[in-house]
Amino acid sequence: MKVHETFEIWRGEKYVDNEFKQFLEKIFSVGIWKEYEKNFPNEVQKIMYDFTCLDEDVQIRCPGNLVIVAQKQKQIETFFDSVEGASWDDGSIRISREKLRSFYDFSLQIITETLREILNQNLNIGFSVLVGGLAESQILRQHITDQFGRQYKVLCPLRPQEAILKGAVELGRNPEMVEPQRKRPAWFRCWS
């Protein structure tokens, strides 16, 4: 099975989020993080959203409830003593640029391999459009531009996650604007 055929099942954004959650579990311990996740799911969602919106700034405000749950065991600053790539900074979790980048490594590798497979088929492709939640990341946009920007124009809409929703709405309104599935190349499905 080729990489791009498995891409429909695998989602880059979910993998990056999972890496980040595992890193938080490593900082606070699995028990503390699970208790926090169970009792404050809305705050966990906010942390994840703040994380996915990060570009240059890698500082995330730590919710008070997480501090309270963690400090039942020890002072919040001490959780960061043995963790490489993160530190406590007056109410915020500071993550080094290198550590942040490491959350994306696997996703970037898979996306790069998938794009190379598609582009090596000598199709008449002049540009690549980045859409979806992962395209919100400056790390992804820069990586794709570095890898493919010399050969192809790389585009990204202002709100790349909304582009998928808007495309789905337009397709629902006018299904004839896209040729039937059986006529489209198989690789097109991985970007749908």
Of 178, 184, 120, give the one whose Cα is nearest residue 152.
120
User: Could you give the count of Cα atoms lying within 13 Å of 82 in the half-sphere of its Cβ?
Assistant: 6
Cite the beta strand spans of the chain per DSSP E.
59-61, 86-89, 92-95, 127-129, 153-155
The amino acid at residue 11 is: R
Parallel, antiparallel, or unpaired for β 92-95 and 153-155?
unpaired
**pLDDT tens digit string along 73-104?**
999 999 999 889 899 988 889 888 888 888 88
33 contact partners, CB below 8 Å, separation of at least 6: 21, 24, 25
Kindly state the DSSP code that residue 31 receives in the 8-state scheme: H
Distances in whole angstroms, Cα of residue 126 to Cα of each of 18, 135, 154: 33, 19, 9
Helices marked H in 29-96: 30-39, 41-52, 64-70
Note the pLDDT of residue 96.
Answer: 87
Rounded distance between C-alpha atoms, residue 180 and residue 159, angstroms: 27
Helices 30-39 and 41-52, interaxial angle, to 10°?
Answer: 110
Within the chain, which residues score under 70 in pLDDT? 1-12, 52-57, 178-192
Lookup: tokens for 60: 């995330």
- Return the bridge partners of 153, or none: 127
pTM of the model: 0.71
Only one residue has tokens 């919100």, namely: 136
